Amino acid sequence: VPVFLFVAAPYIRRYVAGGRCKSTARLEGKVVIITGANTGIGKETARDLAQRGKCSARVIIACRDIAKGEAAASEIRAETRNQQVIVKKLDLADTKSIREFAEKFLAEEKELHILINNAGVMLCPYSKTADGFEMHLGVNHLGHFLLTFLLLERLKQCAPARIVNVSSLAHHGGRIRFHDLHGEKCYNRGLAYCHSKLANVLFTRELARRLQGKFQRQAEFTANALHPGSVYSELVRHSFVMTWLWKIFSFFLKTPCEGAQTSIYCAIAEELDSVTGQYFSDCQPAYVSPRGRDDKTAKKLWSVSCELLGIQWD
Rounded to an integer, what distance in angstroms lies between the CA atom of residue 237 and that of residue 123? Answer: 8
Q: DSSP code of 3?
A: H
| CA angle (50, 143, 136) in 5-degree steps | 105
Q: DSSP code of 92?
A: T
For the chain, the first-to-last Cα distance in angstroms comes to 60
Catalytic residue among 126, 193, 232, 287: 193
The answer to whether 32 and 59 are in contact (CB under 8 A) is yes
What lies within 8 Å, CB to CB, of 298 at 6+ separation is 202, 203, 205, 206, 209
> What's phi and psi for 30, nearest 5 deg?
-90, 155
Is 193 annotated in the active site? yes
> What's phi and psi for 151, nearest 5 deg?
-105, -5
**Adjacency order of strands within the sheet including 31-35:** 85-89, 58-63, 31-35, 114-117, 161-166, 221-227, 279-281, 284-285
Q: What are the start-end ranges of the H helices in 39-161?
A: 40-50, 66-80, 95-108, 135-136, 144-157
Rounded to an integer, what distance in angstroms lies between the CA atom of residue 246 and that of residue 248? Answer: 6
What lies within 8 Å, CB to CB, of 74 at 6+ separation is none
> What's phi and psi for 106, nearest 5 deg?
-65, -30
Nearest CA to 44 among 81, 79, 18?
79
Q: Which residues are catalytic?
A: 193
